[in-house]
A and B are shown apart, each in its own frame.
Chain A
Amino acid sequence: MLKYFRIKQEPEKVVPDLGAISISLLERDATLPFTIRQLNNLPENVKQRMYRGLIPPALLTRFGIDPIQWTNASKEQMVSLKAEENSEKVLLTAQSSPNVSDEFFALELADNSLNGIELNLIVLNDPATPRYSIDQTEDGAPTMFGTLKRNLRAEEAAMQAGLAPGQVRAGLGSSRVVLEQLEAFLSMLGHRAYFLEPLTYASAWVFERRGFAYVRGHKLMDDIHREFQPGGKLYQYLDDRSPFRKRNQASTVRGCAWAIHDGILETLDLRWDNIRMVKQIGRHAGVETFSQGTY
């Protein structure tokens, strides 16, 4: 072992502070990555051209939205871009109809402290499916997708309908194409990786299948899977004490995710916290912590 091993005290920025994007900057080394903040400081129309590349055109046309103008057949704006000058974040949302309040698509990217890219939010909801109000209590207070407070009645109904924790509707089944589009966009900017913190066990499993590895929490995922096996400690606590802790949940990713959402990790003094994942652009890590898992 390396007794003399020295770790770097100050991580270096992966993207240098280059200042405003200009033609002369574009003419320089094409491998130099750009930050979200730099894009946000571009003129509005240039910015819109750039960020148009974040949404798969086929996803928009599926809902009758023009992928260039972002409008429906009635010329109503269906896609919203929030990318304020000097901000390090960009939020893109799309709705299927002016009458439907929920977005079917939401994606937020941000620069991190090293000028790498964070995927802060990705929502892909099928607006044609029933809505479960797990995001607000019965008196209307926000639950932060069940992380701050819980609407147990809505959560139970959502679970029985086959949703995972954190979902208000069934998914669109488009995560692969959306993440591939995101990678194409980030490679255009010159980035080699991006990062995220999965909200739930189920979302971490989905991101594994999409090629992510772990910056933190790979061992925790292994531990969780092992302890949900028959004879494991978490398996023992699937004891019907709540609707979210049924014995048969151990066999599916969603079942384990609901039990974790219900706090089952506390029985092992663990928490679903601080998990961090990374995706290398163009590469699949091949992580599979719940091998042969049924979603």
Chain B
Amino acid sequence: MISTHRMTRAAYLESLEVFRGFIKERCAAVPGVTDEILYDMQLAVDEACTNIISHGYAGMDPGSIILDLNIDSDKITISLTDFGHAFEPSSTPIPDVDAPIEERELGGFGLFFIQQSMDEIDYQVTEDGNKMILTKFLRKLDGG
């Protein structure tokens, strides 16, 4: 592990810009992090945090979102922890992006965007919070 960083903010929309800035500040100069990778990570965190704000903390005065950033030589791992309602990733259908636009339902693209932006996604419900762990590899692993 090269470095670890942590930022905690309240779960409301104004925090998204702070998280985006934090990721840029900590990752932009990391070898292997291109503008595209940076954008993908910011997009994934934006979508994941929006879900926490809209659903995880729905119906209560919002609690915290903890963003942990672990920077390795070959990957960046972003862990988002919240203490709201846990969600069921397995029950979340992936939208049909090939359907004609008039037949598509509004919304439902958050998890899809996260999956498209990141290389690995894990979700855990633990005693110390709900954790979405997003991984971005910085270079392709050589086969064999």
**Interface on A for B, CB 8 Å cutoff?**
1-8, 11-12, 14-15, 33, 116, 191-193, 213-222, 274-276, 278, 280-281, 283-287
**A4-B93, A6-B87, A8-B86 in contact; A193/B128 too (CB < 8 A)?**
yes
**A1-B107, A2-B110, A222-B10 in contact; A280/B129 too (CB < 8 A)?**
yes
Task: Identify B83's interface contact among A3, A213, A221, CB under 8 A.
Answer: A213
A219: shortest Cβ distance to chain B, in Å? 4
**A192-B127, A192-B128, A219-B62 in contact; A7/B107 too (CB < 8 A)?**
no
Cβ A8 vs Cβ B125 within 8 A = yes
CA distance A196 to B92 in the complex (A): 32
Cβ B63 vs Cβ A8 within 8 A = no
CA distance A1 to B47 in the complex (A): 6
Task: Identify A213's interface contact among B63, B92, B108, CB under 8 A.
Answer: B63
Cβ A285 vs Cβ B8 within 8 A = yes
B2 at interface, CB cutoff 8 A: no
Task: Identify B110's interface contact among A5, A33, A213, A275, CB under 8 A.
Answer: A5
Residues of A within 8 A of B116 (CB): none
A115 (CB) vs chain B CBs: closest residue: B127
Most buried by A among B58, B64, B86: B64
Residues of B within 8 A of A215 (CB): 63-64, 83-84
**A214-B63, A218-B64, A286-B6 in contact; A33/B127 too (CB < 8 A)?**
yes
Residues of B within 8 A of A276 (CB): 63
Residues of A within 8 A of B88 (CB): 6-8
Residues of A within 8 A of B51 (CB): 1-2, 5
Residues of A within 8 A of B86 (CB): 7-8, 11
16 more CB-based (< 8 A) A-B contacts, given A2-B107, A219-B62 = A1-B108, A3-B108, A7-B55, A8-B87, A116-B127, A191-B127, A192-B126, A193-B129, A214-B63, A217-B61, A218-B61, A218-B63, A274-B61, A278-B128, A283-B128, A284-B6
